């Protein structure tokens, strides 16, 4: 179970995330919604370790991750789509995914160096990388240099690298932003399949309410950095605070 306890960050006098206490269970997709500037991405950054909290804790399976840098939180099982700066632009799509699979499995198969194990490991890594590329509909681009990929394909590759890590927790921050009508369904389908697995913890920051309605088991709402609603999608969407604060509907029309 992933949990945050009184998680807080201040930028000068501004409290961007304000004492957020929340836990996220395996097998559940939680959508995090709220108006622009509500603190959603900052909350993600605090969980994944891109930002250090001013106060509060992040725990995974009871282990306190609060003092760990992002790389160690990733190793502990927190997976967030890679920033594009972490891709190798002069390598091919396949090589990028193969390296991610290899990094994730490092340490798992230390059998010493012999030609047979190098060859069989390499073959297994390529097979896994191919499988992942298939799942994000990038198999036909596997030999292209990452630097030459259009934006939508680079976003798909970010998700492919996240899959390669095989984390316990998947964090998606507007995963289909900037994608065209053909690309977005591929990513949404992938999230649907991850969800069907019922063992992963999935967090999704998403503005598109149709996507939230379809995918979320639970919605939490951030507003001015604070957690203001938490519950089943239908209840949360119907709540006055969401109608008013997020959807911009006045109390009367709600």
Instruction: Name the site residues for ligand ATP (rule: CB under 6 A).
Output: 11, 16, 34, 36-42
Least gap, CB of 244 to ligand ATP (angstroms)? 17
Cβ closest to ligand ATP, residue 36 vs residue 253: 36
Minimal distance, residue 217 CB to ligand ATP, in Å = 21
Residue 37 or 152: the one with the smaller Cβ distance to ligand ATP is 37
Minimal distance in Å, beta carbon 248 to ligand ATP?
14
Quote the least distance from Cβ 222 to ligand ATP, whole Å: 6
Closer Cβ to ligand ATP, 24 or 44, answer by number:
44
Q: How far is the CB of 38 from ligand ATP (least distance, A)?
A: 4
Q: Is the Cβ of residue 61 or residue 69 nearer to ligand ATP in the bound state?
A: 69
Q: Which residues contact 13 (CB under 8 A, 6 or more apart)?
A: none
CB of 11 or CB of 119, closer to ligand ATP = 11
């Amino acid at each position: 179970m992933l949990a945050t306890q009184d998680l807080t960050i201040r930028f000068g006098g501004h409290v961007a995330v304000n004492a957020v206490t929340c836990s996220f269970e395996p097998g559940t997709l939680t959508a995090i919604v709220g108006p622009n500037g509500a603190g959603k991405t900052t909350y993600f950054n605090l969980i994944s370790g891109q930002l250090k909290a001013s106060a509060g804790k992040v725990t995974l399976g009871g282990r306190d991750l609060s003092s760990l840098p992002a790389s160690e939180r990733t190793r502990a099982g927190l997976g967030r789509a890679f920033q594009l700066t972490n891709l190798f632009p002069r390598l091919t799509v396949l090589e990028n995914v193969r390296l991610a699979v290899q990094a994730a499995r490092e340490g798992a198969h230390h059998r010493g160096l012999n030609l047979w194990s190098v060859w069989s490991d390499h073959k297994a890594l390529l097979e896994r990388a191919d499988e992942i590329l298939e799942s994000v509909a990038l198999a036909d681009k596997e030999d292209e240099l990452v630097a030459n990929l259009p934006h939508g394909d680079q976003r798909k590759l970010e998700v492919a690298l996240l899959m390669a890590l095989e984390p316990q927790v998947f964090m998606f921050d507007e995963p289909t932003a900037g994608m065209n009508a053909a690309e977005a369904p591929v990513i949404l389908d992938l999230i649907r399949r991850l969800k069907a697995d019922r063992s992963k913890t999935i967090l999704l920051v998403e503005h598109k309410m149709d996507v939230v309605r379809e995918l979320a088991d639970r919605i939490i709402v951030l507003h001015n950095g604070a957690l203001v609603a938490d519950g089943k999608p239908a209840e949360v969407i119907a709540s006055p605070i969401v109608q008013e604060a997020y959807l911009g509907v006045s109390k009367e029309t709600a």
